[in-house]
């Protein structure tokens, strides 16, 4: 490699959506079709598992109550703290976000897929992630469907789910930031979701193949 050449950079997609929107299902489909998927929630779970790289700093910041008996983060307890106290949320994010970003970049550097998908629930809220990716794809869903899905899979109360949703940006704000949107509302059948995701996947593959690796990717918003 010459001194003036730059390393190859794959097309990057930021995949986001509100809780219960179906981000994980779409990410699984994209991975099935050959994309490299990097899920920041998966990284966060890894960092807060027993012996995880974030646990020492979390316990120092929040005390031993933050850790379960097995050494992992007590997520239920921590959820209550961050919803009750914005400063607690800020302290937790100050610990986790730099580590998540570091691990995500490492995973991206090792990626071999046709393009890279970063699954980031708070992509719009963070600001930094919007600047990191070439395109933002929003999985869109109406609030009632979000609540029903989360209840069925997690057993959380409606009030807890609503608090989580309230901590995320408004649906309209998320959609305004999107280059691409995949509708996954209550009327969407599994085959319809698959077809919508496949259409975008094929567009992204074409874009990834035609984009100069040293320049930002460009495709019309909503193409």
pLDDT tens digits for range 114-127? 999 999 998 998 87
Backbone φ and ψ for 202, nearest 5 degrees, come out as -65, -40
State the average pLDDT for the chain.
89
CATH 3.40.50.300 in the chain, residues?
9-35+115-212
pLDDT of residue 17: 95
Q: Is the per-residue pLDDT at 220 higher than 70?
A: no
11-30 pLDDT tens trace: 999 999 999 999 999 999 99
136-162 pLDDT tens trace: 999 999 999 999 999 998 888 899 899
pLDDT of residue 128: 84
Give the CA distances from residue 18 to residues 135, 159, 199, in Å, rounded to whole numbers and listed in that order. 17, 16, 22
The arithmetic mean of pLDDT across residues 45-55, rounded, is 97
- How far apart CA 62 and CA 66 sit, in angstroms, is 6
Q: Is the per-residue pLDDT at 4 higher than 50?
A: no
> Please, are residues 15 and 182 in contact by the beta-carbon 8 Å criterion?
no
pLDDT of residue 211: 66
Q: Is the per-residue pLDDT at 203 higher than 60?
A: yes
pTM of the model: 0.86
Could you tell me the pLDDT band of residue 90, with boundaries at 50, 70 and 90? Answer: very high
Strand stretches in 179-223, DSSP E: 180-183
Superfamily holding 9-35+115-212: P-loop containing nucleotide triphosphate hydrolases (3.40.50.300)
- How far apart CA 93 and CA 87 sit, in angstroms, is 10
Strand stretches in 34-81, DSSP E: 36-39
Give the CA distances from residue 76 to residues 46, 80, 148, 156, in Å, rounded to whole numbers and listed in that order. 17, 7, 20, 10
């Amino acid at each position: 490699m010459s001194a003036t050449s730059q390393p190859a950079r794959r097309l990057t997609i930021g995949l986001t959506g509100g809780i219960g929107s179906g981000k994980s299902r779409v990410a699984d489909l994209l991975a099935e079709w050959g994309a490299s998927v990097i899920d920041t929630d998966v990284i966060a779970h890894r960092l807060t598992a027993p012996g995880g790289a974030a646990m020492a700093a979390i316990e120092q910041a929040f005390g031993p109550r933050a850790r379960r008996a097995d050494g992992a983060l007590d997520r239920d307890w921590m959820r209550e703290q961050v919803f009750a106290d914005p400063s607690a949320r800020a302290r937790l994010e100050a610990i986790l976000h730099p580590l998540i970003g570091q691990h995500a970049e490492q995973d991206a550097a090792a990626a071999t897929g046709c393009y890279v998908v970063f699954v980031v629930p708070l992509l719009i809220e963070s600001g930094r992630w919007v600047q990191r990716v070439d395109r933002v794809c929003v999985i869109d869903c109406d609030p009632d469907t979000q609540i029903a899905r989360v209840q069925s899979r997690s057993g959380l109360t409606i009030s807890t789910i609503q608090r989580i949703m309230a901590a995320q940006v408004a649906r309209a704000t998320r959609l305004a930031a999107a280059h691409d949107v995949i509708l996954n509302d209550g009327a969407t059948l599994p085959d319809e979701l698959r077809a919508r995701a496949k259409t975008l996947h094929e567009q992204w593959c074409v874009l990834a193949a035609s984009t100069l690796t040293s320049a930002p990717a460009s495709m019309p918003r909503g193409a």
